[in-house]
Structure formats: C-alpha cells, structure tokens
Chain A
C-alpha cells in the first residue's frame, strides 16, 4: 500500500512538472518551428519548411489518435521528394503538407499514401502560395 501511495505521489509530482514543461515547450516550439509569414497568414511547420512558391495542402485525416500516428505520417510524407515540410495537428485532426515549387501530388496519391500508412482521408484542400 505504501508503495502504491509513493507511485501516486510520484505521478502527481511528475504531472506537475510535465504541465510546467509543456507550457514552456509550447512557447519554445512557437519560436523554434519554421515560421513563415505569407499574405498575413502565419504558417508553422513541425518538420521542414514552407516553399513560398509552392502549394499548401490541408488534409483532414481520420484515425489520428496519438503521437505514433503523427510520427508515421510525417515519416511517410517526408520521404516524398515533392514535400518541403509537414505539420500534424492532432487537436484539429488534420495534416498540413507544404509542397516544393513546381511540384504537385494528386489527391489520389495523397489518399493512397495515407491509406498505406494506416489512416483515412476525409477531405483535401489546396492553396497555391
């Protein structure tokens, strides 16, 4: 019983530290991530960068519930030559993919890449930068 109480106390201690660390992480992430101002729209990517003359894809994805999902999607897309950068947004269940200038990936290919990574696509939006 004492050991259980110790684990619980450790958990509470750790959760407190974690909450504090996360607040700082968010602050740092906003500074560390690749930030781009385009037409007054601030685009922040977790990996890679935004090509100012490329295409920005916003893909609504089903089944993303954890960081392993996010990591899988990032790994799959960052292998593609056309991809300049990527962000996985678990809060909004979407993935933002920045394509390089003069490159494109069709909706069918995007959908296949997600399916082959284990996820489903419900919507794809494109924005020419």
Chain B
C-alpha cells in the first residue's frame, strides 16, 4: 500500500510484526535455551528464561551415548544424495518443458505435481515389501532413491518455473551466431540457470532433511537420519528435556543457518516459486 503512513505508525507496525515474529520463534528459541540447561533447570517451575547456569554437558552426553555423528552423517548423505540425484534427472526434463514446450507440457507438469499431493501411505507398503526383497531396508541407498522419487515432481516444477524466466531471445541470438545445442546448454543456459538450480537444491535439501514419514518407516539402526534419531530419543527417555533439546538443536541448526543466509531462496523455495 502506497499510503503515506506517518512514521510513527510505521514504527508501531514494525514493532507489532517483530512481536509476532518473537512469538513464532519462541518454540525454536526455547529448544535452543533448554539445550544449555541442566535437566533440573529444564523442568523447573516456574520456568527459567535466561538466568540459569549455561552448560554444554547435554551435547557431550548426547554425542557419547548415541553417536550423534553417525545420524548426522546419515542425514547429510540421504538429503544430499537424493537432492543431487533428483536434480540430475530433473534438469533435462525441466529444460525440455521450458524451452521446447509442446501442447501437453502444462498437463504433464500439473499431473506430476498433483502426484506430490497424494498421501504417501498409498505407496508405503509396496515399497516396504520391495525394500525387503531387494535388501534395501535400513540402507542409505534405499532412502536416497525413495526420497529422490518422492521429491522429483517438486524439483521438476521448481526448475521449470526458474527456467521459464530465462528469456528465449537470448537463445535465438545464440542460435543466430551459430551456436549448437551443446553450446547453448553449456555457455548460455547453464550460467543463467545456476541461481534457480541453487534454490531448488536448497529447498529439496530441506524437504529431504525434514522427511520423517519415510525415514521412520524404512530405517532402523543403520541408516536412521536425525529425524528418526529425535523420534526415538523422545519416547524411551521421555523426560530428559535438556538432552532431547540438545539433540533437537543440533538437528535444526543447519537449516536455521542455511536459511538465514539464503533468505530469498528459502522464501521462494518454500512457497514453490509463488513468492519472488
């Protein structure tokens, strides 16, 4: 709104927006704070906000007792692997739909995207059985494949919306100068497509990192990533809030940091390209 709001009003609005922001951020902040408390302080009533003895003990205990590094490594391999594999398969598909569209292109895209809306439970059991047969249960390779397939429609869609923003005239100009298909891809398209590819990678990495349905159902001890680790940690040791918070903080820290330094890509990615 271009209304000439008085600066006083603007300050008020900004303060209100930050107050809401604090409220929204509170559960995350609380997790981080609790991770530095002792178990007794974590469940103190009334709760202690900042005035406690900061300690790193929880982090040490979590690492020592449950080998946090292995879960972290699994998360990185599964999220990273499925993202890279999916992007490699999706780039040619998105390129073809964005630059050589046919009458069916939009139909195919919408159809692909619509499959993402279907509940995963519909395909869970057949995949579970297939995994048992092929010995993929509780393996990182199996999860990389499944998460890649689950997110493939999103990757294709995201890349397509970015590729479409590359002006077609540039390609025509390159062709006039005698560029071959290979030149076009290597020297014209790739440099212009890199920002789009980067934010698609970011979004997909986040989706795969957070994935809980498939990781809980298809892993046990070996290939379990951080989400499965947190879920298992919270049930048998129910009341160890400080340690659970330390484990949780370590699981969300990469996303919080990654997201803060790539705010534009995060917002655009999470809204599937709706917000530029």
Does B bind A?
A: no
**Chain B residues at the A interface, C-beta cutoff of 8 Å:** none
Residues of A whose CB lies within 8 Å of any CB of B are none
